[in-house]
Amino acid sequence: MFNRFPIRFTFDGVDYRGEVKPMHSSLQHRIPTIFQVFLNNVYCGLVKRRGEDWETDSPKCAIMVNVIGNHIYDRYE
């Protein structure tokens, strides 16, 4: 459940590959709600699930936070 997992997607014509690391410090129904995101070998910040919405602490991935969040959600579905 807390193992890193790969992520890959295309956004605005750019291919992104990376890794998502679930943080065990925040759980809801035994599922992590905060994740560290690394894309194209760059740390992009934290992505957090708040109810049905996704938020980030980083302007680097703010525009694509929902795309990232949906990939994360698919992992746990």
For 17-22, what is the mean pLDDT?
A: 96
Q: Is 69 helix (H, G, I), strand (E, B) or coil?
A: helix
For 64-76, what is the mean pLDDT?
A: 93
Express each pLDDT in 21-56 by its tens digit: 999 888 888 889 999 999 999 999 999 998 889 999
pTM of the model: 0.89
Residue pair 35/23 in contact (Cβ under 8 Å)? The answer is yes
**Side-chain-facing half-sphere of 6: CA atoms under 13 Å:** 5
Q: What is the pLDDT of residue 48?
A: 95
Which carries the bigger pLDDT value, residue 40 or residue 2? 40
Is the predicted pLDDT of residue 1 greater than 70, yes or no? no
- Among all chains, which residue has been given the structure tokens 């193992």? 3
